[in-house]
């Protein structure tokens, strides 16, 4: 067995994180220094082939030369380890890794250090030697102490900045800059609700967020309780490749689509289309996925589309059942240390024609739904209004209006316009488009009369 074919299921080891770190170092200038500054060490690489590549990168960078596939490949040959690592495996390290960023580097370095420490202690416990155990624990403690700093006045604000960056490393972002700025990222253990009437575009937005999460080191499991997998992937893959569903399907059928590119981009994304799953069923599925498909990847996002289709005790009335499910999903977020992204249908009265402004009480059989949410974003489409004229509706064609109606870490905010390309379903914020007061007044007045 060659060194790059070592077992990938060893305890306290993530092949994907090790590959991400090396792939980033080989692809982006300055990333090696960022990892070293974050405390990454040679011992943090479990797989021998990865350790050999890290040694070669270190040797190249020590000479003041930029480490890349060419320079590190030559260094591996010089060290006599190129054939041991394997040419194909080495070159493949630059494929499918997470885009280098401060947040990604901090997260991966911390995770690899933690895994390395656990392997150290496991080896010591297995040896049966008290002296060996004490020595390894001392090394772990020494490493932690060595990473501490004495802060002078110039470094004290830098400490705040660094702490903020570390905090951000565990957050997820929607890929919609204005909303991200309002919410300041989604933290593990929290629930994000996306509320609208049916057909407005919730699944479209969930697909956009899926693409954003795919650029992080984190795993994402999407439970589609209504749409089959093909319809979900139509939206995600179409936006990814920038083509409509018909072109996408034609190219896929004809073998003209770059399937490998999609597989690399969404290697941490798992889609489950099983109707009627209860929260307990989802928990069991997550444990299964964590031990198989995402074994080497930290799970951080779970999407449920949508709340009204979650299975449960049918002996309970709808109000109590939905309220219980909302609480259970909050508990799931905390138990798995993930962000739960939850699509929520509005009740019939609140939905109207899809243009009416929504609030906290608009969720169908809301119960404690809004209480279980850390964030709730309500969406509407003004071009669906039956009150506005055709000319007035045209101004808002193919535009979602999104408003934060609950924000546990800040105040709600004004509506923002999100355009979607009707062909590719790609989303982009339009900060220049603001709904006219006269149009909003007409919509509000009609909604009030219907009530």
pLDDT at 83 over 80: yes
Contact indicator for 20, 50 with CB cutoff of 8 Å: no
Residue 16 in any domain: the answer is: yes
Residue 2 in any domain: the answer is: no
Q: Return d(Cα 305, Cα 194) in angstroms, integer.
A: 10
Structural domain count, the chain: 2
Omega prior to 113 cis, within 30 of 0: no
Same domain, 77 and 143: yes
- Across the range 387-397, mean pLDDT stands at 93
Same domain, 164 and 189: no
Q: Which residues of 375-397 are buried (b: 16+ CB within 10 A; e: fewer)?
A: bbbbbbbbbbbebbeeebbeebe
- Across the range 61-77, mean pLDDT stands at 91
Residue 402 in any domain: the answer is: yes
- Across the range 179-195, mean pLDDT stands at 92
132: which 2 tokens? 């060996």
pLDDT at 136 over 60: no
Give the model's pLDDT for residue 147: 47
pLDDT at 241 over 90: yes
Same domain, 98 and 69: yes
Same domain, 191 and 156: no
pLDDT at 352 over 90: no
Q: Return d(Cα 340, Cα 268) in angstroms, integer.
A: 16
Give the model's pLDDT for residue 229: 94
Give strand ranges (E) for 274-324: 299-305
CA atoms within 13 A on the CB side of 37: 9
Weakest-pLDDT range from 124-133, 204-213, 225-234, 249-258: 124-133
Contact indicator for 240, 211 with CB cutoff of 8 Å: yes
- Across the range 422-428, mean pLDDT stands at 90
Weakest-pLDDT range from 31-35, 101-105, 138-142, 333-337: 138-142
- Per the model's pLDDT, the better-predicted residue between 153 and 362 turns out to be 362
Confidence of residue 192 (pLDDT cuts 50, 70, 90): very high
Residue 215 in any domain: the answer is: yes
Give the model's pLDDT for residue 145: 43
The percent of residues above 90 in pLDDT, for the chain, comes to 50
Give the model's pLDDT for residue 361: 78
The CATH number of whichever domain residue 12 belongs to comes to 1.10.860.10
Q: Which domain range does residue 333 map to?
A: 177-450
Confidence of residue 294 (pLDDT cuts 50, 70, 90): very high
Residue 433 in any domain: the answer is: yes
Q: What interhelical angle do 15-27 and 102-127 show, nearest 10?
A: 140
CA distances from 99 to 108, 112, 183, 247 (A): 12, 17, 23, 28
Last residue of a domain, one of 106, 136, 169: 169
Same domain, 286 and 186: yes
Contact indicator for 188, 332 with CB cutoff of 8 Å: no
Residue 1 in any domain: the answer is: no
Mean pLDDT of the chain: 84
CA–CA–CA angle 372, 375, 379 (5° rounding): 115
Last residue of a domain, one of 135, 169, 203: 169
Confidence of residue 102 (pLDDT cuts 50, 70, 90): confident
- Across the range 254-275, mean pLDDT stands at 94
The percent of residues above 70 in pLDDT, for the chain, comes to 84
Q: Return d(Cα 321, Cα 313) in angstroms, integer.
A: 7
Weakest-pLDDT range from 52-61, 267-276, 320-329: 320-329
- Across the range 67-76, mean pLDDT stands at 94
pLDDT at 283 over 60: yes
Q: Return d(Cα 380, Cα 358) in angstroms, integer.
A: 8
Residue whose entry in the numeric block shows the structure tokens 């062909």: 423
Question: Measured on CA atoms in the order 177, 179, 184, 189, is the torsion positive or negative?
Answer: negative
CA atoms within 13 A on the CB side of 350: 21
128: which 2 tokens? 């049966």
Query: Exposed/middle/buried for 167, CB within 10 Å: 0-12, 13-18, 19+?
Result: middle
DSSP structure class, residue 128? T
Same domain, 204 and 151: no
Confidence of residue 146 (pLDDT cuts 50, 70, 90): very low
249: which 2 tokens? 């399907």
pLDDT at 428 over 50: yes
- Across the range 393-413, mean pLDDT stands at 90
Q: Return d(Cα 203, Cα 398) in angstroms, integer.
A: 15
Q: How many angstroms separate the first and last alpha carbons of the chain? A: 72
pLDDT at 237 over 90: yes
Give the contacts of 345 (CB within 8 A, at least 6 positions apart). 195, 196, 197, 198, 306, 307, 308, 351, 363, 364
Q: Return d(Cα 303, Cα 364) in angstroms, integer.
A: 19
- Across the range 245-257, mean pLDDT stands at 94
Contact indicator for 206, 341 with CB cutoff of 8 Å: yes
- Across the range 68-91, mean pLDDT stands at 94
Residue 41 in any domain: the answer is: yes
Give the model's pLDDT for residue 148: 46
Same domain, 159 and 242: no
Same domain, 434 and 400: yes
Same domain, 263 and 391: yes
Sheet with 299-305: list strands edge to edge.
Answer: 269-273, 219-224, 299-305, 339-345, 191-196, 375-380, 399-407, 416-420, 427-429
Same domain, 71 and 43: yes
Helix intervals (H) in 128-268: 130-146, 153-169, 177-183, 202-213, 229-241, 245-253, 259-265
Residue 81 in any domain: the answer is: yes
Weakest-pLDDT range from 133-137, 241-245, 253-257, 318-322: 133-137
Confidence of residue 34 (pLDDT cuts 50, 70, 90): confident
Nearest 5°: phi and psi at 341?
A: -100, 115
pLDDT at 354 over 60: yes
pLDDT at 6 over 70: no
Same domain, 192 and 68: no
Contact indicator for 352, 387 with CB cutoff of 8 Å: no
- Per the model's pLDDT, the better-predicted residue between 314 and 424 turns out to be 424
Give the contacts of 422 (CB within 8 A, at least 6 positions apart). 398
The CATH number of whichever domain residue 327 belongs to comes to 3.40.50.300
Q: Return d(Cα 300, Cα 281) in angstroms, integer.
A: 18
Same domain, 144 and 228: no
Confidence of residue 320 (pLDDT cuts 50, 70, 90): confident
pLDDT at 139 over 60: no
- Across the range 206-235, mean pLDDT stands at 94
Contact indicator for 396, 383 with CB cutoff of 8 Å: yes
Last residue of a domain, one of 147, 169, 191: 169
């Amino acid at each position: 067995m060659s060194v790059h074919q070592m077992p990938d299921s060893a305890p306290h080891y993530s092949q994907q994180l090790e590959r991400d770190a090396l792939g980033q170092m080989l692809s982006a200038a300055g990333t090696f220094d960022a990892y070293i500054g974050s405390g990454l060490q040679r011992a943090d690489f479990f797989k021998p082939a990865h350790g050999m590549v890290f040694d070669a990168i270190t040797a190249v960078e020590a000479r003041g030369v930029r480490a890349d596939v060419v320079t590190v490949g030559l260094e591996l040959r010089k060290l006599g380890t190129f054939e041991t690592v394997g040419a194909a495996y080495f070159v493949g390290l630059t494929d499918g890794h997470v885009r280098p960023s401060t947040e990604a580097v901090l997260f991966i370095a911390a995770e690899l250090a933690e895994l390395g420490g656990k392997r150290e202690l496991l080896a010591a416990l297995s040896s049966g030697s008290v002296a060996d155990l004490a020595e390894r624990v001392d090394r772990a403690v020494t490493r932690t102490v060595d990473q501490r700093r004495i802060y002078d006045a110039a470094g004290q604000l830098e400490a705040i900045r660094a702490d903020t960056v570390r905090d951000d490393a565990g957050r997820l972002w929607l890929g919609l800059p204005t909303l991200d700025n309002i919410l300041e990222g989604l933290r593990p253990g929290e629930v994000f609700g996306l509320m609208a009437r049916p057909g407005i575009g919730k699944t479209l937005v969930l697909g956009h967020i899926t693409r954003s999460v795919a650029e992080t080191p984190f795993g994402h499991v999407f439970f589609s309780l209504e749409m089959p997998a093909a319809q979900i992937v139509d939206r995600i893959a179409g936006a990814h490749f920038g083509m409509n569903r018909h072109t996408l399907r034609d190219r896929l059928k004809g073998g003209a689509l770059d399937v490998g590119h999609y597989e690399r981009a969404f290697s941490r994304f798992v889609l489950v289309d099983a109707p009627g799953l209860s929260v307990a069923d989802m928990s069991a599925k997550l444990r299964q996925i964590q031990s198989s498909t995402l074994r080497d990847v930290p799970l951080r996002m779970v999407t449920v589309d949508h709340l009204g289709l979650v299975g449960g005790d049918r002996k309970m009335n709808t109000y109590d059942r939905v309220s219980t499910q909302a609480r259970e999903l909050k508990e799931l977020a905390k138990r798995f240390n993930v962000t739960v992204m939850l699509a929520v249908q509005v009740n019939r009265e609140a939905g109207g024609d899809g243009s009416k402004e929504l609030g906290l009480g608009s969720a169908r059989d809301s119960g404690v739904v809004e209480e279980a949410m850390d964030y709730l974003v309500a969406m509407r489409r003004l071009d669906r209004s039956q009150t506005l004229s055709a000319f007035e509706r045209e101004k808002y064609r193919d535009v979602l209006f999104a408003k934060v109606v609950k924000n546990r870490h800040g105040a709600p905010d004004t509506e923002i316009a999100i355009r979607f390309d009707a062909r590719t379903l790609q989303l982009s914020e339009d900060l220049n488009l603001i709904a006219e007061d006269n149009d909003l007044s007409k919509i509000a007045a009609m909604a009030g009369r219907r009530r």
